[in-house]
């Protein structure tokens, strides 16, 4: 089974379309989305419409999805994020609000093969930024493999059979990673719509469960178009600026 795994699209239609065009030419059995479909950029309905069309689909909700559909108030959001979430809530169609409201909370098991969550396996809104965070996360689930999002940083945390935890950042336009028997993994495929590792290119991964490999990809997209839409919608300008810098 080949799983296309991506996260944190954040209403970025141009990023989404590059991914869909790429996926059309590849053999993908299942699309796996780790949450934060909306928030920040200016195309929430177009992105949710495209995600809804993906079949078969495994998905968990993100913190921005919850605020944009009214499940949470966003009191812990910074000013720009909250402004964008409220703007998004006003723009979303009823059908897309209903879709966001029904998105399940992580962690969620996919095909008895791995777990998925937005933030951490022990809490959907927690951030896994360090080996310390990852050590706590590894202690909170039993499976050997879990995919997460939320930090927008493409990274693999691994735990060897004696319990030691380390990590490697996924850098490069195409990086292949082979899984080792006896090790456990927490993997972030990076962000599709708002990468934050100083690389503007969209980030996503393909997991091949038979070959036991992961390939991480970066692809360029027309971020200036996304920036113009953010400006035209009068969303905070820093949300446009950061896309070009990958921060
Ligand atoms: Fe996010």
Cα→Cα distances 242→61, 147, 217, Å = 24, 25, 20
- What's the pLDDT score for residue 148? 98
Q: Tokens at residue 38, please?
A: 């909306």
* Number of C-beta neighbours around residue 193 at 10 A: 31
Q: Which of 222, 220, 213, 192 is nearest to 40 (CA)?
A: 192
From ligand 1's centre to the CA of 10, what distance in Å? 7
Q: What averages of pLDDT result for each successive group of 10 residues across the chain (247 residues)?
A: 98 98 97 98 98 95 98 97 98 98 98 96 98 98 97 98 97 96 97 98 97 97 98 98 97
pLDDT at 94: 98
Report the separation in Å between the CA atom of 8 and the middle of ligand 1, taken as the mean of its atom positions. Answer: 5
**191 CA from centroid of ligand 1 (Å):** 7
Q: Quick one: which of 90, 164, 158 has its CA closest to 128?
A: 158
- Cα(11)–Cα(25) distance, rounded to whole angstroms? 23
| Rounded distance from Cα 162 to ligand 1 centre (Å) | 32
* Phi–psi pair at 129, nearest 5 degrees: -105, -20
Phi/psi of residue 23, nearest 5 degrees: -65, -30
Number of domains comprising the chain: 1
Range of 67's domain?
2-245
Cα(62) to centroid(ligand 1), Å: 7
Answer yes or no: are the C-beta atoms of 189 and 155 closer than 8 Å: no
The reported pLDDT for the residue numbered 71 is 98
What is the CA(239)–ligand 1 centre distance, in A?
13
- pLDDT for 210: 95
pLDDT of the residue at 230:
98
Q: Residue with structure tokens 């590894």?
A: 138
Give distance in angstroms: CA of 29 to centre of ligand 1. Answer: 25
Å from CA of 192 to ligand 1 middle = 10
Q: How far is the CA of 204 from the centre of ligand 1 (A)?
A: 14
pLDDT at 217: 98
pLDDT of residue 199: 98
| 181 Cα: distance to centroid of ligand 1 (angstroms) | 31
Q: Record the tokens describing residue 224, joined without a space.
A: 């200036």
Residue 82 CA to ligand 1 centre (angstroms): 13
pLDDT digits over 83-138, tens only?
Answer: 999 999 999 999 999 999 999 999 999 999 999 999 999 999 999 999 999 999 99
Cα dihedral across residues 44, 62, 40, 128: positive or negative: negative
Distance 182 CA to ligand 1 centre (A): 31
**For the purposes of burial, counting CB atoms within 10 Å of the CB of 102, is it exposed (0-12), middle (13-18) or buried (19 or more)?**
exposed
Dist. CA 223–CA 226, nearest whole Å: 5
Q: How far is the CA of 64 from the centre of ligand 1 (A)?
A: 7
**Measured between alpha carbons, how far is 8 from 137 in angstroms, rounded to an integer?**
20
Domain harbouring 148, CATH code: 3.60.21.10
How far, in whole angstroms, is CA 119 from its chain's centroid? 10
């Amino acid at each position: 089974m080949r799983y296309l795994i991506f996260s944190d699209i954040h209403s970025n239609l141009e990023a989404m379309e590059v991914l869909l065009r790429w996926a059309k030419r590849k053999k993908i059995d299942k699309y796996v989305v780790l949450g934060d479909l909306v928030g920040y950029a200016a195309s929430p309905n177009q992105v949710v419409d495209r995600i809804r069309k993906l079949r078969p689909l495994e998905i968990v909700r993100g913190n921005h999805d919850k605020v944009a559909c009214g499940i949470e108030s966003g009191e812990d959001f910074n000013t720009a994020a909250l402004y964008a979430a409220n703007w998004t809530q006003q723009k979303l169609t009823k059908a897309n609000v209903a879709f966001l409201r029904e998105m399940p909370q992580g962690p969620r098991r996919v095909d008895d093969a791995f777990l998925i969550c937005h933030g951490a396996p022990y809490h959907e809104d927690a951030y896994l930024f360090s080996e310390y965070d990852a050590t706590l996360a590894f202690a909170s689930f039993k499976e050997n493999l879990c995919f997460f999002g939320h930090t927008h940083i493409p990274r693999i945390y691994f735990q060897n059979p004696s319990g030691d935890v380390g990590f490697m950042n996924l850098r490069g336009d195409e990086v292949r990673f082979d899984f080792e028997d006896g090790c456990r993994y927490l993997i972030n495929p990076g962000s599709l719509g708002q990468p934050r590792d100083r690389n503007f290119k969209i980030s996503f991964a393909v997991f091949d469960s038979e070959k036991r490999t992961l390939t991480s990809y970066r692809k360029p997209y027309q971020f200036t178009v996304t920036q113009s839409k953010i400006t035209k919608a009068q969303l905070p300008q820093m949300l446009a600026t950061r896309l070009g810098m990958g921060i």
